[in-house]
Amino acid sequence: MNVRFERYPVARNAFGDVFDFEREVNSLFENFLGTPWGRVAGSGYPRLDIAESGDETVIAMELPGVKKQDLKVLVQDGLLTVSGERTSPALPEKAKWIRNEVESGSFSRTIELPHPVKQQEISAELNDGILRIHLPKAEEIRPREIRVK
Amino acid sequence: MENKNMTARVEKNGGSTLTSPYRQESVTVPTADIYETPDAYVLSLDMPGATKEGISLKLDKGVLAVEASVGSIHAESATVLRREIRTTGYHRAFTLGEGIDRENVDAKFEEGVLTVKLFKSPAVKPKEIQIH
C-alpha cells in the first residue's frame, strides 16, 4: 500500500488540523480491514497498565487534567477502584469554542487485584497526568529464597 | 521489507500496539480543546506521560506543531502484564490563521495537559472606538 498525502493542505482555515484528512482516511482503512493485531490490549477508560516486579505490582493510569483532590483510590475485597472527576475549566467570558474534543466528567474503573496486598502500605502518586498505584505483595506470596541447611 | 518493520514493532511494544500498518510513524494524536477570546487563542492538549523537557512546540510557516516524547512508565526490571497506555510519543499540528503575534506565545504543562496561549496581533484585535 503506497498512499501519499499532502502534509500541508493548500486551503488553510484557522486551527485546522494538519493531519485531519490523513487520519480520517487511515481510520477508514482500519475500520474496514481491522488492524492485524487487534485494537487495544483490554479496553476501558481510563487506560491503564499493570506491571509486576519482585515485591510489588504497579498500576499506572492515564489521567490528564485530573487534580489530586478529585481522585479516589479504593481497595476493597480484592478489587481496586479508581474513580474521580475531570472538571473542565469554564470558558472565559466572551470566548467561543473552536474545537472541543477533550471529555470531562466523572470516571470509574475497577480491576481485580492480581494478588493479596499489604493494604497499609499501598501508596499512589500523580505526575504529569499519570497515576501510579504501588501494591506491595502480601508477605505470604513474596518470592522467598530458601536457604539450604 | 514492510513485514520486517511490523515484526520489529510488535516485539518492541510487547505484542500490543495501536499502530496502524498504513502509517509510517507511530505516534499518538493528543486530543485538543481550542477556544478563542477577544485577544487570544487558547489550545490545550492532553499529553499524559509527557514531560515539560520532552515537549517541542514549533511555530513555522503558519503551522503550530507539537511533538513530545513519553518516558518509560514502568521500572526497567518490571514485567508488564497489561499494556493499554501508549508510549510512542505525541504529535499534532494545526494551521494558524492570520493575525497571530508570533512573539507573544505562552505555554505551560500541568497535570499532563499542555496549554498554549497565542495572542492575536494588535491589528486584528477588536477595538472599541471612543466617541468624542
Alpha carbon separation from B80 to A64, A142, B6, B50 (Å, rounded): 22, 18, 21, 19
Q: Is residue B128 part of a domain?
A: no
- Report the residue of chain B nearest A97, measured CA to CA: B35
Q: Per-10-residue mean pLDDT for chain A, 149 residues long?
A: 44 65 61 40 75 93 95 92 89 91 90 90 96 93 83
**Domain presence at residue B9:** no
What pLDDT is attached to residue A139?
85
Name the minimum distance, in Å, from the CA of A115 to any CA of chain B: 13
Instruction: Give the model's pLDDT for residue A20.
Output: 67
Cα B101 from Cα B81, distance rounded (Å): 48
Length of chain B: 132
CATH topology of domain A20-89+104-141: Immunoglobulin-like (2.60.40)
Q: How far apart are CA A62 and CA A86, in angstroms?
A: 12
Q: Give residue A36's pLDDT.
A: 36
CA distance A120 to chain B (A): 22
Residue with cell 509486576: A52
Taking 50 as the threshold, does the pLDDT of residue B123 lie above it? yes
Closest residue of B to A27, CA-based? B20
- Mean pLDDT of the residues in chain B: 81
Residue-by-residue DSSP string for A49-86: EEEE-SSEEEEEEE-TT--GGGEEEEEETTEEEEEEEE
Q: How far is CA B39 from CA B30, B114, B121, in A?
A: 25, 20, 8
Q: Nearest-CA distance from B122 to chain A in Å?
A: 17
**Shortest CA distance to A117 belongs to which of A61, A49, A57, A74?**
A57
* pLDDT tens digit sequence for B79-95: 999 999 988 899 999 99
Chain B residue numbers touching A50 (CB-CB < 8 A): 80-82
Dihedral of the alpha carbons of B46, B48, B51, B54, in degrees to the nearest 10: -70
Which of A16-25, B29-38, B97-106 is most confident? Answer: B29-38
> Residue B10: its pLDDT value, please?
32
User: In chain B, what residues touch A38 (CB-CB under 8 Å)?
Assistant: 16
Distance, in Å, from the CA atom of B50 to the CA atom of B69, rounded to the nearest integer, reads: 6
C-alpha cell at B48: 499524559
Instruction: Evaluate whether ipTM surpasses 0.90.
Output: no
Q: Is residue B7 part of a domain?
A: no
Q: Are A102 and B33 in contact (CB under 8 A)?
A: yes
B58 located within any domain: yes
Range of the domain at B75: 26-121
Distance between CA atoms of A130 and B29, rounded to whole angstroms? 17
Residue B14: inside a domain: no
Structural domain count, chain B: 1
For residue A114, the model assigns a pLDDT of: 84
Residue B105 lies in a domain: yes
> Does a structural domain hold residue B12?
no
What's the distance, CA B84 to chain centroid?
19
Q: Where are the domains of chain A?
A: 20-89+104-141
pLDDT at A7: 45
CB contact under 8 A, A98 and B78: no
- Range name among A25-29, A91-95, B8-12, B19-23 with the lowest pLDDT average: B8-12
Please judge whether B113 and A64 are an interchain contact, meaning their C-beta atoms are less than 8 angstroms apart.
yes
Is the residue at B48 inside a domain? yes
List the single residue in B36, B46, B63 with the smallest CB-CB distance to A95.
B36
Strand A105-112 relative to strand B32-36: parallel, antiparallel, unpaired? unpaired
Q: Residue B2: is its pLDDT beyond 60?
A: no
B65: domain CATH number is 2.60.40.790
Are B77 and B55 contacting, i.e. CB atoms less than 8 angstroms apart?
A: no
**Chain B contacts of A97, Cβ < 8 Å?**
33-35
